[in-house]
Amino acid sequence: MYYRGKPYIKKYEEIIEKILLSLPERFPGLTIDWYILMPTHLHMIFVFNEIKKDLSEIIRTFKALVTRNTKMKFWQRNYYEHVIRNENALLKIREYIQNNPLAENIKFKEFYKDGSDESDPYRK
């Protein structure tokens, strides 16, 4: 299934989300601050607390687990990263992530820092 010429994540959303949320168990010291699954990509904010692995290993593991469990290749070879250096930058990036699906008028799920999640299929 494809969306705008790219593999459609929605069909595998539960598997992808389960793998994403398992990363802190695989990589002690890693916290997921915020994420949104879009139809063709994923936005996420990781917090590193005395973690012994680097981002590239975490992303490589995530992509491999998703590919193995879905038998689909969703991901580009590379990924885009940005180091968040202060609270103001964090708020701006969270706002960008939150508004990304709104711009496309699609359903989305958010993960909040307190560990709760919120689903609002008609958020506009």
CATH of the domain at 83: 3.30.70.1290
Q: How many CB atoms lie within 10 A of CB 52?
A: 9
In a domain, 77, yes or no: yes
Q: How many CB atoms lie within 10 A of CB 39?
A: 20
Two tokens, residue 26:
């695989």
In a domain, 20, yes or no: yes
**pLDDT of amino acid 56:** 94
pTM confidence score: 0.75
- Find the DSSP H helices in 1-123: 13-26, 55-70, 87-104
Domain count, the chain: 1
Average model confidence (pLDDT) for the chain? 80
pLDDT value at 106 more than 70:
no
Q: Helix or strand or coil: residue 47?
A: strand
In a domain, 110, yes or no: yes
76: exposed, middle or buried (Cβ count in 10 Å: 0-12, 13-18, 19+)? exposed
In a domain, 124, yes or no: no
pLDDT value at 66 more than 60:
yes
Instruction: Average the pLDDT over each of 30-44, 65-79, 92-106 and give the range with the smallest value.
Output: 92-106
In a domain, 60, yes or no: yes
State the residue range of the domain holding 6: 2-119
Residue 55 forms beta bridges with which residues? none
